[in-house]
A and B are shown apart, each in its own frame.
Chain A
Amino acid sequence: MTGIELRGVEKAYGKNPPVIENLDLQIEEGSFTILLGPSGCGKSTILRMIAGLERETAGHIFINGEDMRDVSPGGRGIAMVFQNYALYPTMTVKENIEFGLKNIKTPKQEREARVTEVVKMVGLTNYVNRKPQHLSGGQRQRVALARAIVKKPKVFLMDEPLSNLDAKLRAQIRTDLIELHRNLGATFVYVTHDQVEAMSMGTDIVLLDNGRIRQQGSPGSIYSAPRNLFTAQFIGSPPMNVVKAEDMEYRVDHAPHGTVSLGFRPENAVIVSERNPSERGRALFRGELAAREILGDHAIYKFKTACGSIRAKIMSGSTVEYGEWFVGVDRKYLYYFDEKGDAII
């Protein structure tokens, strides 16, 4: 098969218990795959194993159907962008970009042409003779990208490349990366802990926790059909509200058998002043408004209820005053989870 495949991969450091155990993962050719998860979930380790910077303790990694076990990082047809860019500080922008080409003895003419093209692509034409220390964070980031692009790899590996940039620049480079992916048609594997980056750029998200895949799928399916509580609470901003069914003041009578907890997204909640007993299809919570964040086009309200904190995201309308309110959710927006935290469908 094409793309990248991990089969039964295990990684352990020294004599410690493995951080990744028996991992199977398929990354489709040409996809923009995001490895998403909290810090320490093993996402960077997976990326580094694909790059060959770390060796898997067991299992096999295939790139385009070829077993990579004895292939050096340089021979894998990949390029990597590091979190701190890892530019060579003693070389100019141009030298940084062409270093890899020089190493594989690319003819000078071709090298020059490729460097010029790439430098133009990332908009650094006027900076080719500068040293990295004289560039801004965003420019360094683009040098790092250029250094990867110039190699024309089949696979781009990116390890949290945006985390050292400020919010505005991050948003800009996010769209740049989407365009880049579409233009190059290469496979992108991108590690991040930021679900906004994952949702906005990815065509495929692999959600990881403790070295295990919790869910893999398109951003849409991960958002709308979380298969477990971990996914439900990791994706979305603010995350999904989850309450214990037994703590609810007003029971939901249509919950499926085995339901232990219920979830709903803050954006699906409505705030009402009175309880309307005739509305039977709705889950209802009585709560005290504890905090509100007015964010222009929408507002986030945090309520204290009998079953813990609940957040509601209201898209516009008048500001809700502090006091006691009811939060309602239509039954079609409810998610049900069993004892083990798996979704009941």
Chain B
Amino acid sequence: MRDIEKVIDEYITLAIPMPRMAAAEKFLRGTARAATPYIMVAPAILTLCVFVVYPIMYMIWLSAFRWDMIGPKIYVGLGNFIELFSNPDFYLVIGNTFKFMSLSVSISIILALFLAVYLKANTRVNALLQSFIFTPYITSMVSVAFIWAWLMNSEYGLLNFMLGKAGVGGVRWLEDAGAAMYSMILVAVWKGLGYNVIILISAMRAIPRQLYEAAVLDNTKPFRTFFRITLPMISPTLFFLTLMNIIAAFKVFDQIALMTGGGPINATNTLVFDIYQFGFKFYQLGYASAQGVVLMALIAVCTAAYFGALSKRVHYGGEA
């Protein structure tokens, strides 16, 4: 027993020879120990700073200048913002963004809820349907955009061909200023739906079966069961999913760029696409940065409002 303790003691002294250290060495050791956690997280923090924090700061700084990427930066103060808010096109773009966000998210979530209720039963057919519905989500946006642009082509597209066969006149899906935004929403919902369905199905499957049995014994009608049991039980998932959908919809870019280029006459021009245009087509980087600041503020405000309005109604906590 004694021997073992001695050996352990020696081992510890070897590993951390604190008592025998000189004061300076002791100080260094102490500092090293205190610094260890910071060194551990440094790579992640550094990456975050270089690729997230610095660009944001730079964007905010740049929004106070006029710059065409080649010439000198000219300080204009809030000039870019004044120009921005006095430009009627900007309000159109903001409106488009909100229209796209609110419609695509609400349609997608509600549709996903219906489908999840229908597909949650674990059968072979459902597994197949789930993978079908999930496929668009993992398909590259470029392919999706081209396929849909072809389907929606007003002259030789499949959709108008079928409408024609059904005796209905064709729709100028992407060329009509009134229809183009809805076409964008349709494609966005089609692409993102599968993900929402899968997440909601897994949340629904986690609800204990006994709750539904208790509900049946309590004479609960199916609709009421959905609204009083299923919906509250999946509320944390639903809350998170909706938030992610909102943020993603705010940032829509590739789909617009590939399918309409913001047209016709700005009908599908959304904030991120507009930023891209001003920044890298018109080389007005200061103006684009000001738009970026507005986008950031919008997302922050929307997220905060969403949290404030709904987070209290979300059921967290264990099952009972």
User: Which of B23-31, B117-125, B136-144, B311-319 participates in binding chain A?
Assistant: B311-319
Contacts of A132 in B (CB 8 A): 320
Residue of A nearest to B235 (CB): A90
B218, A99: Cβ atoms under 8 Å? Answer: yes
Q: How far is the CB of B282 from chain A (nearest CB, A)?
A: 52
Contacts of B224 in A (CB 8 A): 103
Residue of A nearest to B225 (CB): A103
Instruction: Pick the most buried of B211, B214, B215: most chain A CB atoms within 10 A of its CB.
Output: B214
Q: Say if the beta carbon of A163 comes within 8 Å of chain B.
A: no
B217, A90: Cβ atoms under 8 Å? Answer: no
Complex A-B: 23 CB contacts under 8 Å: A53-B213, A72-B219, A74-B219, A80-B213, A82-B213, A86-B208, A86-B210, A86-B214, A88-B229, A89-B233, A89-B315, A89-B317, A89-B319, A90-B228, A90-B232, A90-B315, A91-B228, A100-B218, A103-B218, A103-B221, A103-B224, A133-B318, A135-B320
A140, B320: Cβ atoms under 8 Å? Answer: yes
Q: Say if the beta carbon of A167 comes within 8 Å of chain B.
A: no
Q: Say if the beta carbon of A7 comes within 8 Å of chain B.
A: no
**C-alpha gap A208/B269 in the complex (Å):** 72
Interface residues in A, total, Cβ within 8 A: 29
**C-alpha gap A140/B319 in the complex (Å):** 12
A80, B318: Cβ atoms under 8 Å? Answer: no
Contacts of A22 in B (CB 8 A): none
Q: Of the candidates A52, A78, A82, A103, which one forms a contact with B210 in the assembled complex, judged by CB atoms under 8 Å apart?
A: A82
Q: Say if the beta carbon of A85 comes within 8 Å of chain B.
A: yes
B216, A73: Cβ atoms under 8 Å? Answer: yes
Q: How far is the CB of B286 from chain A (nearest CB, A)?
A: 51
Residue of A nearest to B318 (CB): A133
Residues on B close to A: CB < 8 A?
A: 208, 210-211, 213-221, 224, 228-229, 232-233, 235, 315, 317-320
Contacts of A147 in B (CB 8 A): 214, 218
**C-alpha gap A82/B319 in the complex (Å):** 14
Q: Say if the beta carbon of A149 comes within 8 Å of chain B.
A: no
Q: Say if the beta carbon of A131 comes within 8 Å of chain B.
A: yes
Q: Of the candidates A53, A88, A103, which one forms a contact with B211 in the assembled complex, judged by CB atoms under 8 Å apart?
A: A88
Contacts of A53 in B (CB 8 A): 213, 216-217
**C-alpha gap A103/B317 in the complex (Å):** 26
1/0 contact string of A140-174 vs chain B (CB within 8 Å): 10000001000000000000000000000000000
- A-B contacts besides A80-B213, A90-B235, A133-B317, 16 pairs, CB < 8 Å: A51-B217, A72-B219, A73-B217, A74-B216, A74-B217, A78-B217, A79-B217, A86-B208, A86-B213, A87-B320, A88-B215, A90-B228, A90-B315, A100-B218, A104-B219, A133-B319
Residue of B nearest to A75 (CB): B219
Residue of B nearest to A84 (CB): B210
Q: How far is the CB of A46 from chain B (nearest CB, A)?
A: 16
A82 touching B320 in the complex, CB below 8 Å, given contacts A74-B219, A90-B233, A100-B219:
no
Instruction: Pick the most buried of B211, B217, B220, B315: most chain A CB atoms within 10 A of its CB.
Output: B217
Contacts of B211 in A (CB 8 A): 86, 88-89
A74, B218: Cβ atoms under 8 Å? Answer: yes
A88, B214: Cβ atoms under 8 Å? Answer: yes
Contacts of A80 in B (CB 8 A): 213-214, 217
Residue of A nearest to B233 (CB): A90
Residues on A close to B: CB < 8 A?
A: 51-53, 72-75, 78-80, 82, 84-91, 99-100, 103-104, 131-133, 135, 140, 147
Residue of B nearest to A143 (CB): B320
Q: How far is the CB of B219 from chain A (nearest CB, A)?
A: 4
Residue of B nearest to A54 (CB): B213
A72, B218: Cβ atoms under 8 Å? Answer: no
**C-alpha gap A91/B219 in the complex (Å):** 17
Contacts of A86 in B (CB 8 A): 208, 210-211, 213-214
Contacts of B318 in A (CB 8 A): 89, 133
Contacts of A103 in B (CB 8 A): 218-221, 224
Contacts of A82 in B (CB 8 A): 210, 213-214
Q: How far is the CB of B246 from chain A (nearest CB, A)?
A: 24
Contacts of A91 in B (CB 8 A): 228
Contacts of B235 in A (CB 8 A): 90
**C-alpha gap A133/B218 in the complex (Å):** 21
**C-alpha gap A103/B224 in the complex (Å):** 9
Q: How far is the CB of A146 from chain B (nearest CB, A)?
A: 13
**C-alpha gap A262/B187 in the complex (Å):** 80
Q: How far is the CB of A22 from chain B (nearest CB, A)?
A: 26
**C-alpha gap A19/B157 in the complex (Å):** 59
Residue of A nearest to B220 (CB): A103
Contacts of A84 in B (CB 8 A): 208, 210
Contacts of A74 in B (CB 8 A): 216-220
B213, A89: Cβ atoms under 8 Å? Answer: no
A133, B320: Cβ atoms under 8 Å? Answer: yes
A89, B320: Cβ atoms under 8 Å? Answer: yes
**C-alpha gap A85/B315 in the complex (Å):** 19
Residue of B nearest to A153 (CB): B217
Q: How far is the CB of B216 from chain A (nearest CB, A)?
A: 5
**C-alpha gap A74/B214 in the complex (Å):** 9
Residue of A nearest to B315 (CB): A90
Residue of A nearest to B319 (CB): A89
Q: How far is the CB of B229 from chain A (nearest CB, A)?
A: 6
Contacts of B232 in A (CB 8 A): 90
**C-alpha gap A135/B235 in the complex (Å):** 22
Residue of B nearest to A83 (CB): B210
